[in-house]
Chains A and B, each alone.
Chain A
Amino acid sequence: DAGVTQSPTHLIKTRGQQVTLRCSPKSGHDTVSWYQQALGQGPQFIFQYYEEEERQRGNFPDRFSGHQFPNYSSELNVNALLLGDSALYLCASSPRESGELFFGEGSRLTVL
């Protein structure tokens, strides 16, 4: 049983560009959450998707958007990249009514 998988694992972008990160949830999970982990910090909640809709959102600007597909996989899009967007982006999945989040290994984004 595959866990949460994320792609790409590493990528480098320049300021102003756009990036798309992808996540496949653990089998049987229908809820996907995205977190940003800056260097030396704890993860910060970006948003959560369930039934293809954004259900909850953290304190992130509209440059951060997402999507969930019918197969429960998800994408995180960031537009107009800033240097401060450099971070590890973590995807986590869970069953809707259950307590444990399963995290992927993350996508490390570097903005130059």
Chain B
Amino acid sequence: AQSVTQLDSQVPVFEEAPVELRCNYSSSVSVYLFWYVQYPNQGLQLLLKYLSGSTLVKGINGFEAEFNKSQTSFHLRKPSVHISDTAEYFCAVSDMNSGYSTLTFGKGTMLLVSP
């Protein structure tokens, strides 16, 4: 079984500042890693995913994440945020045996961008 810990429930930041949303996971097997974003009253949208290869993954809307196997982390970063980035962000993991559909999610981090 896997688990995901998102260390911050809420991250306030000013517009144009950099941001990092932290995610740690635990698993006894190799995993796939994902970041999803959820805007108010909407479903989840995939930001980026790590399946294999380069540990630095670039996603949509200027976001990127780095997979660190030794620290079992997959932190999400953006160098300059916009007001429109205000949303809930979820880190998720699936093990390579279960495939991509059975994701275990963290509790989410609310990113609050203010002017």
Instruction: Please report A residues at the B interface, Cβ cutoff 8 Å.
Output: 4, 31, 33, 35, 40-45, 48, 56, 58, 90, 92, 94, 98-106
Complex: A92 Cα to B34 Cα, angstroms: 15
Q: Specify which of A42, A45, A99 is in contact with B108 (CB 8 Å cutoff).
A: A42
Q: Are B102 and A48 in contact (CB under 8 A)?
A: yes
In the complex, how many angstroms separate the beta carbon of B82 from the nearest chain A beta carbon? 23
B54 contacts chain A at the CB level, 8 A cutoff: no
User: Contact at A94–B100, with CB atoms within 8 Å?
Assistant: yes
Q: Does B74 contact A (CB under 8 A)?
A: no
A48 to chain B, nearest CB (A): 5
- Are B105 and A44 touching (Cβ within 8 A)? yes
For this complex, 7 residue pairs linking A to B, each with C-beta atoms less than 8 Å apart, are A31-B101, A42-B90, A43-B105, A48-B101, A56-B101, A101-B103, A103-B45
Residues of B within 8 A of A (CB-CB), count: 23
Q: Could you tell me if A100 and B44 are in contact, using CB atoms closer than 8 angstroms? A: no
Q: Which of A4, A33, A98, A103 contacts B102 (CB 8 A)?
A: A33
Pairwise interchain contact A56-B102, C-beta atoms closer than 8 A? yes
Chain A residues in 8 Å Cβ range of B45: 103
